[in-house]
Amino acid sequence: MPTIPTTVSKKAPTLVAARTTLPPKGAALALGRPGGGGFVYLASQSPRRRQLLEQLGVRHELLLPDADEDAEGLEVVKRGEAPAAYVRRVTQLKLDAALVRLKRRGLPVAPILCSDTTVALGRVIYGKPADAADARRMLSELSGTTHRVLTAVAVGTPRRRVHALSTSRVTFAPMSRQQIAAYVDGGEPMGKAGAYAVQGRAAAYISHIAGSYSGIMGLPMFETAELLRAYGFKI
């Protein structure tokens, strides 16, 4: 199937401070001054988030879960939970776990960046598919619809945290069962919210995007830069 032209329109982001007082600028500069040793911990296994953070020019170190941590358990959806509430809650849980990890390992204190992405059709949340059959089900339900992609971002230290939410809308053209099966057989949907990667082969079926392309990938650049500036990073 030929690639369908994609149009992108921007919308104002939602930026929320977890506390009413952001880090004092004078104190934060020591953390984020370019060339001064400032860096951020990235508590994510996603290569896409690493790529996007590198695009911002921010030095970072990975702070990944230990083998005995139940990282997937943090992403369990509560009954009746709204998509926005879900993705915010999971991101805060990831940050909580990362802060405990930092202390346990005795690492130098620096801001920790966490993020979570989910796909929603109405109030139905589409996380990562459990298997190929689950991926086919998700894509069949998203085919020919416009759905939301919500990515929450949080940056925090043991003393304070700030967070933001990016919401975008993605329209899929109708996909045949054969097209869905071929896409799933390629393996791309696994490990992706909603069973697709906007930067991959799924782009051939996306007719329209409204919002943040990087947010759909997993780390909204604008919102992330705003949060890091609150900690003194010169972006």
What's the pLDDT at 16? 42
User: Is there a contact between 195 and 138 (Cβ–Cβ < 8 Å)?
Assistant: yes
Per-residue pLDDT at 71:
83
Answer yes or no: 116 catalytic. yes
Q: Above 70 in pLDDT, residue 29?
A: no
Name residue 184's amino acid: V
pLDDT given at position 11: 44
Report the candidate in 183, 209, 179, 212 with the shortest Cα–Cα distance to residue 196: 183
Q: Is the pTM of this model over 0.95?
A: no
At residue 58 the predicted structure's pLDDT band, cuts being 50, 70 and 90, is very high
Judge whether residue 185 has pLDDT over 60.
yes
Q: What is the CATH T-level fold of the domain 7-229, as seen in this structure?
A: Maf protein (3.90.950)
Instruction: Read off the pLDDT band of 69 (50, 70, 90).
Output: confident
Question: In angstroms, rounded to a whole number, what is the distance separating the alpha carbons of residues 58 and 88?
Answer: 23
Q: Provide mean pLDDT across the span 135-152.
A: 98
Model confidence at 73, pLDDT cuts 50, 70, 90, reads: confident
> What is the percent of the chain where pLDDT is above 90?
79
Task: Pick the catalytic residue from 116, 131, 134, 185.
Answer: 116
124 HSE (CA, 13 A, CB side): 8
Among candidate residues 129, 131, 164, 172, the one with its CA nearest the CA of residue 148: 172
Which residue ranges make up each domain of the chain?
7-229
